[in-house]
Structure formats: C-alpha cells, structure tokens
Amino acid sequence: MCPRRNNSDTPSNSAKRQERDIRRQEQKARDKKAHPRKDENSGAFNNQLRAFNLQLRPIVGDGNCLFRSFADQMDGNQHRHAYYREKICDYMRANRPDFEPFIVDESFDTFIRSLSKDGTFGGNECLVAFSRLFDARICIHQLNQPVWMVCFFEPPQHEIHISYHDYEHYSSVRKLGDHTSTTANIRQSMTTCNVSTVNEKHKKTTNDTTYGACAAESIELFTEHDVDYILSQLTNPVDPQLVRDTLNDTDGDIDGTIAYLLALDIPPIDNSVVIQESNESVDKIMSVTEIYNVDLVQDSLAHNNLDIDSTVESLLKLQANDDEKYEEISNEETSENEKTNKNAKQKNRPASTSQKKADKKKAKKQRAFEKHRAQIIASTGKTTTTTTTKQTEENLNPPANNAQEPVPPANMEFINI
C-alpha cells in the first residue's frame, strides 16, 4: 500500500490557505463594522443634516454599503442590495466604452467579475452607472463638506441622498423623523455650482472635474417675512419670485436686494389699460354666453385671473346648472297642479246612495213645509178681505147721529208654524 501523500506543504495549497485566511479576516472586519452606529462623528453629522431637515439611517458596513444605500433609498429595504449590484454591473457591461478608460489597476472584465461578487466595495463608477441607469440625481453628504451631486438629466426622475463617512463607508439619508420602510422620496432644493470651491480645512483651491457638481450648503438665507418686507419697501409692484431669486444671488442681503430692485425701476402697471382690456373682455364674454349681468361676469373674470376661455366655460356651467334647477322647479309645480286637480275631481265626484236618500227626505220635508205655509196664507187672506169690505161700506153710509159706536175688537188668529 502506497503511503499517503502529504500535499499540505505544496506552494499552491499554502497560497490558497493564506487567501482563505485573508478572506475570513476581511469578513470579520466587515461584520464588526456598522456605520454610523459606532461612528464618533455621527452626532455632528446628524446636526449638519438637521439643517436640511434630514437625518442618517444606519447601513451595515459589509462591503455592500453603497448598494444597500441605493436599495434603502429606492425601495426602503437595504436587503435588496444584490438586485442593484446586478443591475449596475449589467449596465456597465452594456456601456463598456464609457467605463473602461477609467479602470486602470486591472482589466475591465476582471473589474466587473469582482464587482459582481457580494461584499465588493462600489466606487465612483457605480455612482455614475446608477445615476444614468435610473435617471437619478445622487446627493452625497459629507461631514463639514459641500453636498456633491451626480446627475445627467434635468429634471431627474428620482433623487436619492446618501452620506459618505471617512472615505470608506456609505449610509442612507432620510427625512427627519422618517423611520418607515418605504422609498425615501426626498426632493431637496439645492443650488448647483461649478466645481471650483475653496477647501477651508486644507487652505487649497480645487478645480477638479468629476461627474457631478458641488452644491452650496443649504442654509436658510431668508424667510417669507423678509420677502414681504422687501415688497413693502418697493415703490412699484414686483414679482415675489424675483425677490427670492435676488436674495439667493445676494446671499440673503435684504438691503442689497432692495437697492437692486429699486435700481431696476420697474414701470408701474397702467390701470387704465387694464380696465379697458377688462371691459372689452366682459363685452366679449357677454356676447358669447348671452349672460348680461355685468357684476356676475366681472366677478367670474376676476376669479379666473382674466382668462376669457375659463370665464366663458364657468359661466356656461353656471347657466346649465340654473336651467336644471328651473326644470326641477317647473316639474314640482306641475306635480302640485296635478295633485290639486285630482283633489278637485274627488270633490266633484257623484254622491253615494245614502247621501242621495238623505237629500230626498230633506227635499220632501221642505216641500211639505212650503205647502202648509201656502194654505195658511190663503186662509188669512179671505178673512182680511171681508173685514175691509165692511169698513168701506160703513164709511160711505155713516149713521144719522154723530155718536161713535164702540168698535168691536178684531178677530185675530195666531198661527203656529
């Protein structure tokens, strides 16, 4: 039986063993790293970001920190870092001529193979590839440094904010108080400038060309109260946006802004021309809409910022609504009239059989009463005629002596009816 061959001392095995040990040590170092939880400058960094209403979000420092920051900004989940690593590598392969000249230490294929592995650090090439691939503006915050931006399209579809620590670690930047697991969705107003800044820390001027431009620190230079104050000091009306732009150009110098705007000598608005144009617009609107209420047309025109088309459209809608209300009112009146006619017909309806019988009895009693009354009147008429004839004969033939004879009392009957 052949003795067992010992390959432990061969050069190839020792090299592999050393390589494995180096990888284990690197992995342990990455696992121990978790910026910015243990970053001594995290407090100062957060104070700096608070001026932007932003804050740091911790990202694991395992070599995937840049891709984890991309994933947190886009999806709210840093564990999707492998997806963005793969997308960036595929984009760099598809656009090899744009990236190959900047890979100097190794061949492009070797660089892409290494970058596609989990735990490989990403650099400036990945920032450029991500910005171009996802149409994003990347804002990179650093402690006591201006905000650097990488952007190729204006306006970009996305805007992401990440932080760069000690030249070796990236973290995600979120809105102040944002602890959600959704997209960061930050839209920060930052003024871009050419890459020519004075580094106060090192007292040297840099004129480097890179893929982005530096951004001035977003310190609040003025407030809306300052804008209102400047407008009150001007003799002629000025667009408030012009005041804001001038304040930005003068670094918030209120007196300088007032002097500059006064020097512009902006002509005042001719009110007579405005009134004449307004009257012409009112006449045109009334001719189109056939609405001749001048106050209504003027109010609507002012409400629509002197836009004739919008005013005509709103007035026509108003007129259509009025017509609908009129139709509703007329329909209600028609229904009420129908109800009234129905009630009248019910009143004029022929009486029932019992009602007819009662009416017949009442009529019969009335006829009997009238007949009895006529008989009584006829009998009283005969007695009165006989007495009157006797009195007339006595008046024509008076007695011989003038002595008056007593008149017998009249025979009167009292009839109870």
DSSP 107-156: -HHHHHHHHTSTT----HHHHHHHHHHTTEEEEEE-TTSPEEEE-SSSS-
Examine residue 178 and state whether it is found in any structural domain, yes or no. Answer: yes
Domain check: are 159 and 286 in the same one?
no
Model pTM above 0.75: no
Domain check: are 108 and 137 in the same one?
yes
Angle separating helix axes 124-133 and 81-94, nearest 10 degrees: 90
pLDDT tens for each residue of 193-222: 333 333 333 333 333 333 333 333 445 667
The pLDDT of residue 346 is: 58
The pLDDT of residue 398 is: 53
Domain check: are 116 and 250 in the same one?
no
Examine residue 368 and state whether it is found in any structural domain, yes or no. Answer: no
The pLDDT of residue 408 is: 52
Strand partners, 174: 55
Domain check: are 290 and 154 in the same one?
no
Distance, in Å, from the CA atom of 364 to the CA atom of 366, rounded to the nearest integer, reads 5
The pLDDT of residue 57 is: 93
The pLDDT of residue 262 is: 81
Cα radius of gyration (the chain):
55
Residue stretches of the chain with pLDDT short of 50? 1-5, 7-8, 34-37, 191-218, 269, 273-274, 383-384, 401-403, 410-415, 417
Is-cis flag, bond preceding 350, omega within 30? no
Domain check: are 52 and 185 in the same one?
yes
Domain check: are 141 and 98 in the same one?
yes
Q: Which domain, by its residues, includes 306? A: 271-335
Domain count, the chain: 3
Strand partners, 197: 206
* pLDDT over 90 percentage in the chain: 25
Domain check: are 66 and 118 in the same one?
yes
The pLDDT of residue 116 is: 95
pLDDT tens for each residue of 109-133: 999 999 999 999 999 999 999 999 9
